[in-house]
C-alpha cells in the first residue's frame, strides 16, 4: 500500500536499483489474477491518494487515484449531482476507473465528466497532467490502460448547482443498483464483465447466450446462469479455467456471428506493461 508520493518515489527507486519489475493494480476490479507467483512489486494506492475535495464554487471535485469509485459516486449524490449514478455501482478505484473509462450502458462513463488527471510516470519519475483530449477515451479503454503510469489525482466536472437534486440523485442510484442486481450473478466471486459490448451491435451477453455459454463449466469456473457475460468462481477455479471459458465463448461467437468480441477483463500480470 502506497500512502504518499515520497513513499511511491522510494519504491520506484528501489525497484530500479534492484532491477525488479513493478506493476500498478487499482482495487483489482475487472482483473483476473494469474495463479503463478508475480515476480516483482505490485503497487496499490492508499493514504493521501484516497482524499476527496471540492472546489470553492462546487463546480469540480478532485479525488485521489486510490479513492473508491463507489464512495465518490455516493458522495456526489449526497451533494445532489445528477448523472453520476454509474460511479456508485461500479467497484474499483478512481485511477482504475479512469484507465478503463468505466461506466454503464445507459447512465454514463468517466469520459463524460473527466477534466484532468495528475499522472506519475515511473520511468521518468515525473508527474504529467492529462486533459480529456489526451486520454483517448474509448469503450472501456484509455491511453493509460495496461501501462504502469499511475493516476495520483483527478478532477471531474459537476452538475450546475441550480440543477442539483439530492433526493433524485440518491433514487437514481437505488434504481440502478436494483436493476443491476436483478441481472447479475448472485455469486459474488466474479471480476465483472468478461467482454466489451460490440459497438453498434447487441450486447456481448446476448451473443454469448445465443451460442450456449450460460452455465458452461470448466474446472471450478462457470459462466453465470444469470448473465452469459459474467464468469463466477464456484470455489476452486484457476485462472486457466477462466481463460478456457473466455476462449471458447470468443471462438463460438466469431464462428456463429462473425463478431470478434474484445476482452474487458484484464489478465494480470500478462496484460500489464512491465517496467524495470
Is residue 29 annotated as a catalytic residue, yes or no?
A: no
29, 85, 193, 275: the catalytic one is 193
Residue 252 a catalytic site member:
no
DSSP-derived 3-state class of residue 192: strand
Query: What sign for the dihedral angle of Cα 194, 90, 37, 271?
Result: positive
Residue from 68, 93, 107, 140 carrying the catalytic annotation: 140
Among 228, 218, 173, smallest CA distance to 197 is for 228
**Would you write out the chain's pLDDT as a tens digit for each of its 276 residues?**
999 999 999 999 999 999 998 888 888 889 999 999 888 899 999 999 999 999 999 999 999 999 999 999 999 999 999 999 999 999 999 999 999 999 997 889 999 999 999 999 998 999 999 999 999 999 999 999 988 899 999 999 999 999 999 999 999 999 999 998 888 898 899 999 999 999 889 999 999 999 999 999 999 999 999 999 999 999 899 999 999 999 999 999 999 999 999 999 999 998 876 555
Query: Out of 107, 142, 264, 275, which one is annotated catalytic?
Result: 264
Q: Where are the alpha helices (DSSP H) in the chain?
A: 5-18, 69-78, 94-100, 166-183, 204-210, 239-257
140 included as an active-site residue: yes
Among all chains, which residue has been given the C-alpha cell 470468443?
A: 250
All structural domains of the chain: 5-167 (3.30.465.10), 186-268 (3.90.78.10)
In sequence order, which residues have a C-beta less than 8 Å from that of residue 135 and are 6 or more positions away?
A: 98, 101, 111, 114, 117, 142, 143, 144
**CA–CA gap between residue 133 and residue 29 (Å, rounded):** 25
Amino acid at each position: 500500500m502506497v500512502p504518499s508520493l515520497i513513499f511511491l518515489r522510494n519504491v520506484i527507486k528501489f525497484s530500479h536499483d534492484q532491477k525488479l519489475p513493478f506493476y500498478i493494480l487499482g482495487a483489482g476490479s475487472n482483473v483476473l489474477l494469474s495463479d503463478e507467483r508475480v515476480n516483482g512489486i505490485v503497487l496499490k494506492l492508499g493514504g493521501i491518494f484516497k482524499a476527496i475535495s471540492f472546489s470553492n464554487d462546487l463546480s469540480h471535485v478532485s479525488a485521489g487515484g486510490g479513492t473508491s469509485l463507489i464512495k465518490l459516486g455516493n458522495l456526489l449524490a449526497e451533494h445532489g449531482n445528477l448523472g453520476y449514478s454509474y460511479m456508485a455501482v461500479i467497484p474499483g478505484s478512481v485511477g482504475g476507473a479512469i484507465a478503463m473509462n468505466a461506466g454503464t450502458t445507459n447512465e454514463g462513463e468517466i469520459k463524460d465528466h473527466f477534466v484532468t488527471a495528475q499522472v506519475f510516470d515511473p520511468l521518468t519519475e515525473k508527474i504529467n497532467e492529462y486533459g480529456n483530449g489526451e486520454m483517448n477515451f474509448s469503450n472501456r479503454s484509455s491511453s493509460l490502460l495496461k501501462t504502469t503510469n499511475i493516476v495520483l489525482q483527478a478532477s471531474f466536472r459537476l452538475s450546475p448547482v441550480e440543477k442539483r437534486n439530492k433526493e433524485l440523485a440518491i433514487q437514481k442510484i437505488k434504481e440502478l443498483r436494483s436493476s443491476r442486481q436483478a441481472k447479475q450473478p448472485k455469486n459474488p466471486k466474479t471480476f465483472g464483465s468478461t467482454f466489451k459490448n460490440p459497438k453498434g451491435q447487441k450486447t456481448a451477453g446476448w451473443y454469448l447466450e445465443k451460442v450456449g455459454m450460460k452455465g458452461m463449466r470448466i474446472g471450478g469456473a462457470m459462466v453465470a446462469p444469470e448473465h452469459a457475460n459474467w464468469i463466477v468462481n464456484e470455489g476452486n477455479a484457476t485462472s486457466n479455467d477462466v481463460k478456457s471459458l473466455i476462449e471458447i465463448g470468443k471462438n463460438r461467437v466469431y464462428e456463429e456471428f462473425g463478431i470478434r468480441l474484445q476482452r474487458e477483463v484484464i489478465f494480470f500480470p500478462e496484460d500489464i506493461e512491465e517496467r524495470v
